[in-house]
Amino acid sequence: MTTKRNPTRPVAIGDIAIGGGNPIAVQSMTATKTQNIDATVGQAEALRQAGAGVVRIAVDSDKDAAALAEIRQGTTANLAVDLQENFRLAERVAPHVNKIRYNPGHLYHHQKDRPWQDKVRFIIEQAVEHDCAVRIGVNCGSVDPAKKEKYDPADSITPMLESALEHCEFVESLGFTRFCVSLKDSDPAKVIEVNRRFAERRPDVPLHLGVTEAGMPPDGIIKTRIAFEQLVSAGIGDTVRVSLTVPNDRKPEEIAAGRQILADIAAGRVRSVVRLQQSGLNIISCPSCSRVENEAFIELAQAVKEITRYAEPYDLTIAVMGCRVNGPGETDDADLGLWCGPTRVNLKRGTDVVGAFTYDQIIPKLREELDRLIARLTPAESTSSSAPDRPAGS
């Protein structure tokens, strides 16, 4: 199958380029602690050898930035840095990477009285000086608050779109065009809609595609496949990430999954009619990455999937997030949300905090909250109004 690609401009990232008709690059993110230099180098190399065009590393402190300088010496991967909430680290990391990713919604955490435009200008100055590309990365759970307050809370797409467009315009006003954009959500349908709308407005800007917090395989691969089939088949997308909740040694599976999806699309092996699941239990979980403060998060996500099977007929969303960066905001839209700290897991009911519990305590507490919600609902796909049997021991 031959797909006509959107006429995006090329953006060089190390020894590859995205956009401009170049092959769609598959990328991933290290899940090791950035300050564990040997482990991070090993994972970056494993991802590169699996076919990653870009390997992203999170940097959230001066110690992370110092480690990144050493990591750079140990891998030939094209490295991108995720600035997290600290835009000021751009100066320290830019000499060691090929791309800088910043999130417009995270520019408000440091130097709160300083205009976001000044912060972006600083990032772009570092990118120009050190020959880096830039990704403007907009996420559903951390959208610019100034954009969110302008719209109905039920409209999560327009604030994302406006934030991305605004940053594109500002960055270009600085004379910088070596950037791409990502607009991510945990709902494939929203990913499809927001990226289609952006591509209509800015067909020239390369797009990084992904379904954030897609979850564990095979569900996470299926969700991502749905979004990629709809977008890539329409010529939208220049680089992709499959975000999976898997143990560290399995992170190259993200690259394999992305390459397989793209190969299937190119060969026409796509669903003739793609229908998203419209009802039933939906579990989302973020990809394992270096922001995770306790690797027990992976086991917890798997346990949540297993112990909640009895709730599959109900229209409920449970979100399991691995860190304080994505956790608080990106669980707000879930019926039940868990975000994990070093020793405790924070349990939320929508935007309300239920409490913080140890990793040993959290599953029983989650079940209690889930049962309370089920008691008020009718199964979405059941002829009986009674809930399915809970698993033994629950």
Rounded Cα distance, 284 and 317, in Å: 7
Which residue has 């990328």 as its token pair? 27
Q: Is the pLDDT of residue 384 over 60?
A: no
Q: What is the pLDDT of residues 241-290, one digit of tens each?
A: 999 999 999 999 999 999 999 998 888 776 523 344 557 888 877 766 77
Instruction: Convert the pLDDT of each residue in 238-249 to its tens digit.
Output: 999 999 999 999
Q: How confident is the model at residue 98 (pLDDT cuts 50, 70, 90)?
A: very high
Give the model's confidence band at 293: pLDDT under 50 very low, under 70 low, under 90 confident, else very high: confident
pLDDT at 391: 46
Distance CA 213, CA 222 (A): 13
CA dist 2 and 267 (Å) reads: 8
According to the model, what pLDDT value does residue 288 have? 67
The pLDDT of residue 387: 45
Q: Domain 282-374 belongs to what architecture?
A: 2-Layer Sandwich (3.30)
Residues 6+ apart with CB under 8 A from 92: 62, 65, 66
Q: State yes or no: pLDDT of 35 exceeds 60.
A: yes
Is the pTM above the cut of 0.75? yes
pLDDT tens figures, 159-178: 999 999 999 999 999 999 99
pLDDT reading at 7 higher than 90: yes
Beta strands in the chain (DSSP E): 11-13, 16-18, 25-29, 54-58, 79-82, 99-102, 133-139, 179-184, 207-210, 239-241, 282-285, 317-321, 336-340, 344-349, 352-358
pLDDT at 326: 65
Residue 109: its pLDDT value, please? Answer: 79
Compute CA distances 137 → 103, 207, 256, 297, 319, whole Å. Answer: 5, 10, 23, 24, 21
* From the candidate CATH numbers 3.40.366.10, 3.40.830.10, 3.20.20.20, 3.20.20.70, the one assigned to the domain spanning 11-266: 3.20.20.20
pLDDT attached to residue 213 = 82
Counted residue by residue, the chain has a size of: 394
- What is the C-alpha separation between 143 and 319, in angstroms, rounded? 18
What is the reported pLDDT for 64? 96
Q: Is the pLDDT of residue 103 over 70?
A: yes
Domain spans of the chain, in order of start: 11-266, 282-374
3-state secondary structure of 251: coil
* Average pLDDT rounded to a whole number, residues 344-366: 94
Report pLDDT for 324: 76
Residue 277 pLDDT: 52
Range name among 213-227, 334-348, 368-382 with the lowest pLDDT average: 368-382
Q: Of the ranges 122-131, 304-313, 371-380, which one carries the lowest mean pLDDT score?
A: 371-380
Average pLDDT over residues 209-220: 91
Which residues, other chains included, contact 60 with Cβ-Cβ below 8 Å and sequence gap of 6+?
Answer: 34, 84, 85, 86, 89, 291, 325
Percent of the chain with pLDDT over 70: 91
Per-residue confidence (pLDDT) for residue 278, from 0 to 100: 57
